[in-house]
Amino acid sequence: MSQNIDYTLAELGSCAITATFADQISPDITALVRGLDLAIAHSPMPGLVEVVPCYTSVTMHFSKHLPPRHYIESWLQSLLAALDGSERLAKRWRVPACYHPDIAEDLFDAATALGVSIDVLVEAHTAATFEIAMYGFAPGWAYLSGTPSTLDLPRRLTPRGPTPADALLIAGGQAMLAANPMPTGWYVIGRSAQPSFFLDRTPPVVFDVGDQLSFYAVEPAQWQAMYAAAKAGELIAERVH
């Protein structure tokens, strides 16, 4: 990776600061953010208590107050200069999911909006390899990069009621694995058989930022059995490597 990486710094109150690398989502910027996140974990600045990686930025939270800005800039520049693109070895997972209209209640509406059949929609989603770019909006909600262009449709004009837990969503050229029920303008096209967020788990998420997910279709009865087993603590998702 180039050592001359441009970014802007913006303070968030007295205890946090955000480094932003771009104003558009791209795989290269997301990879840069992941690499910096891991580099910070290996070489944290004193007083750092939390790092929040997003699509194009990294926010750093400190315990009491921000260190002097020139210290932060020097620290970040040294970390960025050492990045070589191999900082994080992503895990790959195969995850069972159900795409039946009884469980994926927006499946027909999404297919209609896309101008394709339900089968074509499901084939496109299961053929894709997604990557967890960030967690945000609500606890355990995983934003996924890698959405095929055939699944690019606008968000709803009016938000729908709460999604079911562990819903697979699409909208606005993006995909998501939504851990908990929330109102949204996205479309529910399936449900994962592997819950991704547990309050009593450390860490609470099953999948890490940077992990790659591919989904395969199962029938409703099989999904229900898998989901019950996963809720009881069994790991249903299959680790590929």
Average pLDDT score over the chain: 90
Identity at 224, one-letter amino acid code: Q
For residue range 7-60, list pLDDT tens digits in order: 899 998 889 999 999 888 777 888 888 889 888 988 999 999 998 888 889 999
Rounded (5°) CA angle 221-215-28: 160
Q: State the pTM of this model.
A: 0.80
CA distance to 37, 92, 93, per residue, from 143 (Å) = 17, 16, 16
Tokens 């997604």 — which residue?
Answer: 130
User: What structural domains and CATH numbers belong to the chain?
Assistant: 8-82 (3.30.1360.40), 92-239 (2.40.100.10)
Q: What pLDDT is attached to residue 200?
A: 84
Identity at 59, one-letter amino acid code: T
Q: What pLDDT is attached to residue 203?
A: 82
| Joined tokens for residue 197 | 């967020």
Q: What pLDDT is attached to residue 35?
A: 86
| Cβ-based burial of 10 (10 A; exposed 0-12, middle 13-18, buried ≥19) | exposed
Q: What pLDDT is attached to residue 3?
A: 52
For residue range 95-134, list pLDDT tens digits in order: 999 999 999 999 999 999 999 999 999 999 999 999 888 8
Query: Hey, how many other C-beta atoms are within 10 angstroms of the C-beta on 100?
Result: 18
Strands 48-53 vs 92-98: parallel, antiparallel or unpaired: unpaired
b/e string for 50-60 if b means 16 or more Cβ within 10 A? eeebbbbbbbb
What's the pLDDT band for 87 if we cut at 50, 70, 90?
Answer: low
Task: Confirm if 173 and 143 have CB atoms less than 8 A apart.
Answer: no
b/e string for 141-168 if b means 16 or more Cβ within 10 A? bbbbbbbeebbebeebeeeeeebebbbb
Question: Residue 180: pLDDT above 50?
Answer: yes
